[in-house]
Amino acid sequence: FFRINRQMMVRLSAIEHIHVFPKGRLKLDLQPVMKDEVLVSLDKVTAFKEWLGK
């Protein structure tokens, strides 16, 4: 699991697609589908990308 922002942690297998937003933010499409937009906070993007590479 990885904490992508203050409200949410995600599991690698739940990530369906990653969209790059302006200014380097990332939007995640998860399974099951979430009602609200799921964004990786700016200060977590670098650590999140490293976590994905593991």
pLDDT digits (tens, 9 = 90+) for 23-45: 889 999 999 999 999 999 999 99
DSSP the chain: -EE-SSS-EE-GGGEEEEEEPGGG-EEEEESSPPSS-EEE-GGGHHHHHHHHH-
pLDDT at 3: 98
**Tally of CB atoms within 10 A around 34:** 13
pLDDT at 54: 73
- Mean pLDDT, range 13-25, rounded to an integer: 93
pLDDT for residue 22 is more than 90 = no
Spans of all domains in the chain: 2-53
